[in-house]
Structure 1
């Protein structure tokens, strides 16, 4: 009697890419982006890649890692529309003959991020991002079959951007959470407008899947994937940010308070971007221009 194929997963964490932009952080640190985690869910022969990285150099390293696994890559999944989790999908799809998939909402957001490439992404990483057409399609029923096992794209709404999804691999008790859950890295709050309620609901949706392991697409590679810890820490961070936002009058004070509370978290540049965007949102004005001003 033959046994059913066994699934597993591995994670590749890309170091932060060199990042352009104006000025240092309020504490004098140089600007640096966050680590980006890419997940390979695999069976005996085939595999699915989740959240490909940002730059051509990162994609080359991830592609070599996939090739070394010996697995046939069938699909590449983007959990949401932020370019740092899909701009290299077409390059990797071409290398391995894989299909790029995402939820319908994520695909809509991908088009928005592509439209912003020249003024935002290419300004921050000039000459480092390959051509990035939106080639993703929505799989039937938001599901993928990997060697007879079901992998489900679950829509969760707004987290660090609109129209986020997560990939649920029930056989592994695994959720690849994109940017809904962070792991030892400062959360990007810049698109929340200061309302963190929708993000909390997204976390509740992930929790309802009852995972034992969660892969966050921004993570400190020294930390584990324990689902209970990641969910609790993400919720606690949202609470702390909301309290700090209500307490402090300036983005610098907000930044300083969050650094003091979370001295070990990586990604302080994104914290500073979030701080500026949150306080610009208080002033009203065009939200797109406020986000550009916060990043650049």
Structure 2
């Protein structure tokens, strides 16, 4: 995307992956993951990659894309702990000699997701995810200098998981927002119990206060633009709709169909079904981790 400054950004969107899980969705669709967006913020020579993808095959495609840009990759940033935003960071860092970085809180969550690999991620994509040791380090003041321009890692707390952050690029009026906001796809609500939606709304407020004109959501419909105003408003509305519909229905199937009816334009019905199952399992109590496994698998 062209700008009239010395830096700009481009986005690579990996298409939805089939999930190794039994059964169809309640609407008859097969299970597929959401699109995954990877952002390259670049100057005349150097570049920073945000939220590397999940599988080895995706990482090869992203690496070829970075190489074709002709830029020297200096840093790889993970916005939060979910593995689909960093499991291939080490593979790409080795290819380009880049430093993997994240906020201290996000690094803690990355360790948690490594411990969850065998029971969750490797079950859904067996043999497709490369080795993923946590090699991320913090940078001073959570700030990366890209050819004289500041790229700021901003902690925002709970969004679709704990200890999320965003990358703010003031000179582009840009926020690379990870999973704090979604753009044209169903929002993952599997970890939104116990006040999570209210915390998420506060996180969105933090992003809005940064004053971006453009937002890159890590899960997006690649045919939509990056309008910050629209994306923020639509994510807020989705959270409000989900809360109201969950209060009005007794079963996950009812919730699933009501949300499909409310938002027929959105991609990613699998994540909607996982969210529905997780929300209603949380109502019954039990171990949160076991509930999450049951919702996905």
8 Å CA contact retained: 1:194, 1:242: no
- Matched with 2:237 is 236
Report the TM-score when normalising by structure 2: 0.97
Tell me which residue corresponds to 2:151: 151
Q: Give 1:101's aligned residue.
A: 101
Q: Deviations over 1:46-71 (max 9, x none)?
A: 00000000000000000000000000
Per-residue deviation at 1:18?
A: 2.2
Match in the other structure for 2:11: 11
TM-aligned CA deviation for residue 148 of structure 1: 1.2
Answer yes or no: is 1:292 the counterpart of 2:296. Answer: no
The question of whether the paired residues in 1 share the 8 Å contact of 2:274 and 2:296 is answered with yes
Looking at structure 2, the residues matched to 235 and 202 of structure 1 have their Cα atoms a distance apart, in angstroms, of 11
Does the residue aligned with 2:67 lie in a helix, a strand or coil? helix
Alignment check: 8 A CA contact 1:156 1:202 kept: yes
- Kindly report structure 1 stretches of 4+ aligned residues shifted beyond 4 Å: none
Q: Does 1:59 align with 2:74?
A: no
- Say whether the 8 Å CA contact 1:244–1:257 is kept in structure 2: yes
**Alignment-derived partner of residue 227 in structure 2:** 226
Deviation by residue 1:82-119 (Cα, 9 ceiling, x = unmatched): 00000000000000000000011110110010001011
Please list every run of 5 or more consecutive structure 2 residues that lacks an aligned counterpart in the other structure.
none
Mapped pair 1:199 → 2:200: yes
1:17 is displaced (CA, Å) by 1.8
Q: What is the total number of aligned residue pairs between the two structures?
A: 293
SS in structure 1 at match of 2:250: coil
Q: Shift of residue 237 of structure 1?
A: 0.4
1:72-221 equivalences under 5 Å are: 72-193=72-193, 195=195, 196-221=197-222
In structure 1, the gaps of 5 or more residues are: none
Structure 1 contact 158–198 (Cα < 8 Å) conserved: yes
* Aligned partner of residue 57 in structure 1, secondary structure: helix
Task: Answer yes or no: is the 8 Å Cα contact 2:142–2:154 preserved in 1.
Answer: yes
Asked if structure 2 preserves the Cα contact closer than 8 Å seen for 1:38 and 1:49, the reply is yes
TM-score, normalization by structure 1? 0.98
CA drift of 1:213 comes to 0.2
